A and B are shown apart, each in its own frame.
Chain A
Amino acid sequence: MLNILKTENLKSYYIFETPTEKKEVKAVNDVSIDIEEDKIYGVAGESGCGKSTFLKTVCGLAEPPLRIVGGTIYYLVNGKYVDITKLSQEEYRKLRWEYISYIPQGSMSALNPIIRVKESFKDFVTAHKKIKDEQKDFEEPLRKHLNALGLPMRVLKSYPHQLSGGMRQRVTIALATILNPRIILADEPTTALDVVAQRAVIQLLKDIQSLQKNTIILVTHDMAVHANIADRMLIMYAGVFVEEADTEELFENPLHPYTKFLIGSLPKMGDKSYKVSAPGSPPSLANLPQGCPFHPRCPYVMDICKNERPALVETKPSHKVSCFLNSKERIQND
């Protein structure tokens, strides 16, 4: 399986500077990850752990005060790995949307309010492809695409404000996939929608993935969505990934203490025991504790956890975790 997205030691911080003080919010704090093609990844974590920032950084939307402070991001372009942090503006612009697209949080206002939906589509397409014959090169494929996604043709003639929230979200998804990108980043696509619309969106994403065989990285705090659609999951905490595994494996055998709390807090059918959530609250990303970021709340905390940060290592086949507990166990088991 090819990796179509790789990051190495990626650090991206929000930097606030006044003449008197400097504040760094370490939203993405040394992340190294490999993303395979043709899979749906789910990224879970609490609000404010850096999930959205990770997505924004990876698709090149890091604008001041957010800056990439270190590390590299690789896309697989034409069989070669390209470090996009080194690309020029114009080179990167060409890659966008054709290689990697983005569905933002709150797609309510993602479309230009004063042009019709069809023209928005045209803008995004013509930015990357030349259209010689409007009918053949643009309208036909567009129609087919919308059909495949189950969207009515009338949305093309509408202005964004004339569509309902759920419809707008689906149109945004159609827009994000019009050029068959290899990776789609979806930031909380189901939040702020009613359950019926949520279901439609999830189904839509599934359909697209099976049609276009691309990779979707889906960020949401809603574990039910992950259980429904994600093939592989990433758990994020305080700016780092603390666990990575296939969805079923993660739900059945969570290794990281935080993941254990996360899974443990989900209601199960027939289970009437008390639910326990992690004590305390997540740290401020501007003021991270030394060592493992979770150690102040961890019931299994050891001395080493207070001083060193654990790396994300594979402790079981295809199951990575960043926790000294597991490394020790592994060492003990060896």
Chain B
Amino acid sequence: MLEAFKELMKDGRFKFAFIVICVLAFMSILSFFSPYDPLRWNVVPRDRPPSWPHIFGTTSQGQDLFWQSTFAIRNSLTIALIASGISRVIAIIVGLVSGYKGGTVDTVLMSINDSFVVMPLLPILILIASVIRENLNMVTLGIILSLFGWAWDARVIRSQILSLREREFTYTAILSGTKTFNLVVKEYFPFIIPIIFATLINNMIWATGMEVTLAILGLSNTEIPTIGTMIHWAVNYQSILLGYWWWILTPVIISVFLFVALYLLSTSLSEYLDPRTRIQRIGKAKE
């Protein structure tokens, strides 16, 4: 594991992404030490540009932007992790069953799977959110997102299972009487775990993007500070027109860093894991 990490750190993208994620994680931990309650308004002077002690400035609601951001990062990441985590489970189950069983089960499952891939998810999520708007706390939002984010990755897992199924060791295991469940869990899992990890990050990007979008549209519980709700309030209070650039730019810049970092993490990881690009990487002749 450690060598893998060292090897990855040589990739400039991974290094950058890793540092950014560490910084963001650090900020979310800082939220536990915040001197201000994120749910209360008017705890500090309003509409102050960045200066000490409010290093990111303050909002029109009288909240310190820096400490608000720490909570926002923490909550957005939590929602994304819940959503991605649960959808991993669904994707693994669907991918495994479909890939291993094959036949009609596979056809039916994949048909439903593809529906979720093709469907325009945004309108549907908006529809759902508009109905249960007030009850949309972090866990609920995470669960709902997970119910829609599993489809693409289920296919990826399924194709990996398909190729594993044809390998020699599968036949050996079956012929020697290994029960299906044992076979799947013990033999296949080591191959699947790297895929799960790579797709987890991609899914987090998607989930965070959805959370941000829904929040900006006012469809989630806007009391809870997340990156999305911060933007929502900034837009709502006309921060652009009024020239309070720090209020809108703080969550925007944080989110850009978060998304770019997650994306670079995901691409560098999947390139590292893909055997073809590995050969290219170590075979590059130095000019």
Q: Do chains A and B touch in the complex (CB under 8 A)?
A: yes
Q: Which chain A residues lie closer than 8 Å to B241 at the CB level? A: none
CB of B282 within 8 A of CB of A64, answer: no
CB of A17 within 8 A of CB of B10, answer: no
Q: In this assembly, does B186 line the interface, its C-beta being within 8 Å of a C-beta of chain A?
A: no
Residue on A nearest B283 in the bound complex, by CB:
A65
Q: In this assembly, does A237 line the interface, its C-beta being within 8 Å of a C-beta of chain B?
A: no
Q: In this assembly, does A18 line the interface, its C-beta being within 8 Å of a C-beta of chain B?
A: yes
CB of B282 within 8 A of CB of A18, answer: yes
How many residues of chain B get a CB closer than 8 Å to chain A's CBs?
A: 7
Q: In this assembly, does A67 line the interface, its C-beta being within 8 Å of a C-beta of chain B?
A: yes
Q: How large is the interface on A (under 10, 10 to 19, 20 to 34, 35 or more residues)?
A: under 10
Known A-B contacts: A17-B283, A67-B285. Give 4 more (CB < 8 A): A17-B286, A18-B282, A65-B284, A65-B285
Q: Which chain B residues lie closer than 8 Å to A15 at the CB level? A: 283, 285
Q: In this assembly, does A317 line the interface, its C-beta being within 8 Å of a C-beta of chain B?
A: no
A14–B279 Cα distance when bound, in Å, is: 12
Q: Which listed residue, B10, B283, B286, touches A14 by the CB 8 Å rule?
A: B283
Q: Which of A14, A16, A67 has the most CB of B within 10 A?
A: A16
Q: Which chain B residues lie closer than 8 Å to A16 at the CB level? A: 282-283
Q: Which chain B residues lie closer than 8 Å to A18 at the CB level? A: 282
Q: In this assembly, does A19 line the interface, its C-beta being within 8 Å of a C-beta of chain B?
A: yes
Q: Which chain A residues lie closer than 8 Å to B279 at the CB level? A: 65
Q: Which chain B residues lie closer than 8 Å to A14 at the CB level? A: 283
A15–B286 Cα distance when bound, in Å, is: 9
What is the distance, in angstroms, from A23's C-beta to the closest C-beta of chain B?
9
What is the distance, in angstroms, from A67's C-beta to the closest C-beta of chain B?
5
Q: Which chain A residues lie closer than 8 Å to B286 at the CB level? A: 17
Task: Mark B260-287 against chain A: 1 for CB-CB distance below 8 A, else 0.
Answer: 0000000000000000000100111110
Q: Which of B279, B283, B284, B286 has the most CB of A within 10 A?
A: B283
Q: Which chain A residues lie closer than 8 Å to B282 at the CB level? A: 16-18
A19–B284 Cα distance when bound, in Å, is: 12
Residue on B nearest A13 in the bound complex, by CB:
B285
15 residue pairs of the A-B complex, CB under 8 angstroms, read A14-B283, A16-B282, A16-B283, A17-B282, A17-B283, A17-B284, A17-B286, A18-B282, A19-B10, A64-B283, A64-B284, A65-B283, A65-B284, A65-B285, A67-B285
What is the distance, in angstroms, from B9's C-beta to the closest C-beta of chain A?
11
A174-207: which residues lie under 8 A (CB-CB) from chain B?
none
What is the distance, in angstroms, from B78's C-beta to the closest C-beta of chain A?
37
A3-33: which residues lie under 8 A (CB-CB) from chain B?
14-19
Residue on A nearest B278 in the bound complex, by CB:
A18
A67–B283 Cα distance when bound, in Å, is: 11
Q: Which chain B residues lie closer than 8 Å to A17 at the CB level? A: 282-286
Q: Which chain A residues lie closer than 8 Å to B10 at the CB level? A: 19
Q: Which chain B residues lie closer than 8 Å to A64 at the CB level? A: 283-285
Q: Which of B284, B285, B286 has the most CB of A within 10 A?
A: B285
What is the distance, in angstroms, from A270's C-beta to the closest C-beta of chain B?
41
Residue on A nearest B3 in the bound complex, by CB:
A20
What is the distance, in angstroms, from A25's C-beta to the closest C-beta of chain B?
10
A63–B283 Cα distance when bound, in Å, is: 10
What is the distance, in angstroms, from A286's C-beta to the closest C-beta of chain B?
13
Residue on B nearest A64 in the bound complex, by CB:
B285
A64–B282 Cα distance when bound, in Å, is: 10
Q: Which chain B residues lie closer than 8 Å to A67 at the CB level? A: 285
Q: Which chain B residues lie closer than 8 Å to A65 at the CB level? A: 279, 283-285
What is the distance, in angstroms, from B11's C-beta to the closest C-beta of chain A?
12
A15–B279 Cα distance when bound, in Å, is: 11
Task: Mark A67-89 against chain B: 1 for CB-CB distance below 8 A, else 0.
Answer: 10000000000000000000000
Give the 8 A-B residue pairs with the shortest CB-CB distance, closest first: A65-B283, A64-B285, A18-B282, A16-B282, A16-B283, A67-B285, A15-B285, A65-B285
